[in-house]
Structure 1
Amino acid sequence: MSLHPQGLVIGKFYPPHAGHRHLIATAAEGSERLAVVVLGNRFENIGLTDRVRWLTAEFDETHVTVIGMSDDSPEDYHSDEIWKAHTELVRLALKARGITTVDAVYSSEEYGTELAAAFGAVHVTVDAARTAYPVSGTRCRDDLTAAWRSIIKPARQDMAVRIILVGAESTGTSTLTTALTGHYRNRYPELVDVPEFGRQYTYDKFAAARTRDPGAVLADLVWNAADFTAIGERQNEMENEAAARCPLVIADTDSLATTLWERFYLGDGSHGSYRALTQLPHRDIYLITDHEGVSFEDDGWREGEHRRAEMTEWFREELTREGHSWILVSGDHDRRMATATAIIDQIIAQQNRFTSPPWATRTVLAGDL
């Protein structure tokens, strides 16, 4: 089968989903070179830059070029003048990348034939009935949770709401994390636990020490930078795995907290966990559990009772220094839950609020009728 020298796909990709991936993959297979033009407007609250970045990450083939272009022109498929406004934007987006001819336009939309004619290209229809992937941007925006697995993975990583709980030892961090996870799992059945990996790592490290020396005690454990590298990187992985499954992530600590625990055990000169910090995913908010008013419970694995106030201050200082949004949650459990859910509910509402201009069309699939 001969390949088209230059293929073209256009779309809003608001947000990019499995149907878009199928369209682009099909076009990439049929073209020697493929340009994907992302048309975003000022009325949409997912940035054009983000959509370009997500699609670029999804399609890292050297012959696929993703191009972002602002398009604030109204939509009117019955107006020749409006069609010209749109096609000229696409033409200039391509020209800026040195693309002056188009041989094939790939599309699942009715306008594909007219768009191809504007470029003197053939129109290749791809799954116009949406039977291969029954999903649309409209459906994703209408019910983000239900459509979550259909959105491409790079977009899910950035779009997920991430709530990170941190705190000194025995300040109720895990208790609050568990309660919040249970509270929101009614709304998000795919919500998974993101526990503190450092605790499991400690269990395993101590078990290995006891295998070597049955008389070893917890205080005998020798920590090094490599331990904190492993903890920080796995903590990031667990969080990202959770984001791939669900649009809400509630995590009991993170790799930024790992850097503070490395300082706690090894001092300021150790930076094993800092590699994980360079890959820290985006955060919506940190909740710091206050040590005041919480009795220290020694479960046999804790060593920092006398340094709880210091650790709490470290968290406040570091999050402030890094420019993160954080709230100190204090009081009894009910008060802490009320504080946490009040802000989380508003962040979720903001995440689910997609804006579009009044002329934007809605894609209706067979299952939506």
Structure 2
Amino acid sequence: MKRYGHGLVPGRFHPPHAGHHHLVRTARDRCERLTVLVRGSSTEPLPLEDRVDWMREIHPDVLVVGGEEYTGPEQVDAVFTSEPYGDELGRRLGAETVHVDRVPPLSDTAVREDPAAFWDFLEPPVRAALTRRVVVLGAESTGATTLALALADHYRRRGGVWARTRYVPDHARAYRALEPAELRSADFPVIAQHQAELEEEAARDGSPVLFCDTDAFAATIRHERYLGTTSRATGEIAALGRQHLWLLTDHRGVPAADDGPRGGEHLRPWMTARLLAQLAHTGRRTAVLTGPHEERLATAVAAVDALLAEGPHLTEEPR
């Protein structure tokens, strides 16, 4: 089989899937050096910068660059492609065109229209970006943890790829044994950052939906609740979050547990109101859950199903 000095694999990789990776690995095995050109712009549904980062993570042994045209200094000896436009690009670059059958024979359009149907053909960083992330949050003793666990179980029961639905626990629970006076402002960004890392890890190998028992946004409200001030550092972490839906568990109708110095029925209405106000102020998509557990679960499932039905909005054709 003929080998080449410098090969080029062009493509939009919107999103990258197993068929693309087969093409890249085939080209890599036949070239001394390989460049992957991720074509497109930052205004597409999946920004160019993200696609470049994903391809670099998935293919660390090749050079990955972004742009519409190859402008590198090195002569291209062969263009590897599964698309008809490869012939014209090869002619422009004075390179041989090598056609590679796509294995598996995936349709880019089909993957964009329904990523969940092709979930197993996507690599972890791509799955993390496309996962719909749902946060369950509320004041103390409002059943947020119970509901988040129930939601994860509900979607696992759907089977198939959904059987891998993950639940991210509340990392802050480790701090709740502390007295309020022992909490420091510096603790909250640490809590928020670790919570975000746990979420990202779970999104990489779960199903198309992820349930989180709190998030960095909730940590900003907890900072107000316990220390009486806002935390800029925690807020900056929250602003980087990639969540899509917040389910707020109302305190009404749920008995308050005896939570020592952290408890207090008089604080739960404040917490609920503050969470709701800030969710609205920051434009976060929210559903408020009221009534008994069964009613809350049904409301939550309806909100999540509506989110999933909308999909990650990839069907706009890249320009």
Q: Does 1:265 align with 2:226?
A: yes
The runs of 5 or more residues in structure 2 that have no matched partner are none
The aligned residue for residue 196 of structure 1 is 170
Residue equivalent to 2:288: 328
| Percent pairwise identity | 36
Change beyond 3 A, Cα 1:12–1:317: same
Counterpart of 2:142 (choices 154, 171, 176) is: 171
| Local SS of the residue matching 2:140 | coil
Partner of 1:289: 249
Deviation at 1:2, TM superposition (A): 6.5
Equivalent of 1:243 in 203, 227, 231: 203
Letter in 2 for 1:124: V
Q: Is the 8 A contact 1:161 1:348 kept in 2?
A: yes
Distance in 1 (CA, whole Å) between partners of 2:126 and 2:297 is 29
Number of aligned residue pairs: give it. 306
Deviation at 1:352, TM superposition (A): 7.8
- The answer for the alignment partner of 1:34 in structure 2 is 35
> Structure 1 stretches of 5 or more lacking a match?
41-46, 68-92, 207-217, 358-369
Please give the per-residue CA displacement for 1:27-62, whole angstroms capped at 9, x wherever unaligned. 57847673524369xxxxxx7351523321124589
Aligned CA distance change for structure 1 residues 129 and 345 (closer, same or farther; 3 Å) = closer
Specify whether residues 272 and 21 from structure 1 end up closer, same or farther in structure 2 by C-alpha distance, changes over 3 A only.
same
Give the secondary-structure state (helix, strand or coil) at the position aligned to 2:20: helix
Q: Deviations over 1:180-237 (max 9, x none)?
A: 11111112111122111111x226xx4xxxxxxxxxxx53761112321221111111
TM-score, length-scaled by structure 1: 0.70
Deviation at 1:313, TM superposition (A): 1.3
Question: Structure 1: which amino acid aligns with 2:295?
Answer: R
Secondary structure (helix, strand or coil) at the match of 1:3 reads strand
What's the counterpart of residue 160 of structure 1?
131
Counterpart for residue 52 of structure 2: 56
Corresponding position: 1:309 with 2:282: no
| Aligned residue in 2 for 1:88 | none
Paired residues of 2:290 and 2:296 also in contact (CA < 8 A): yes
Helix, strand or coil at the partner of 2:168: coil
Given that residues 35 and 64 in structure 1 are in contact (C-alpha distance below 8 angstroms), is that contact kept between their aligned partners in structure 2? yes
2:79 paired residue number: 105
Q: Quick one: which amino acid aligns to residue 23 of structure 1? A: L
**Structure of greater Rg:** 1
Residues 158-167 or 102-111, more deviating: 102-111
Out of 160-169 and 260-269, give the one that drifted further: 260-269
Q: Distance in 1 between matches of 2:66 and 2:102?
A: 25
- CA–CA distance in structure 1, aligned partners of residues 87 and 261 of structure 2: 67
Closer, same or farther: CA 232–356 of 1 in aligned 2, 3 Å = closer
Shift of 1:307: 0.8
- Look up the match of 1:70: none
Give SS of 1:249's match: strand
CA distance in 1 between partners of 2:46 and 2:180 (Å) = 48
1:287-326 C-alpha deviation (Å, 9 max, x unpaired): 1111122211225584243211111111112112221111
Could you tell me which of 276, 283, 292 is aligned with 2:237? 276
| Structure 2 counterpart of 1:225, one-letter code | S
Q: Distance in 1 between matches of 2:191 and 2:294?
A: 31
Contact 2:20–2:102 (CA under 8 A) maintained in structure 1: no
1:20 counterpart = 2:20? yes
Shift of 1:141: 5.5
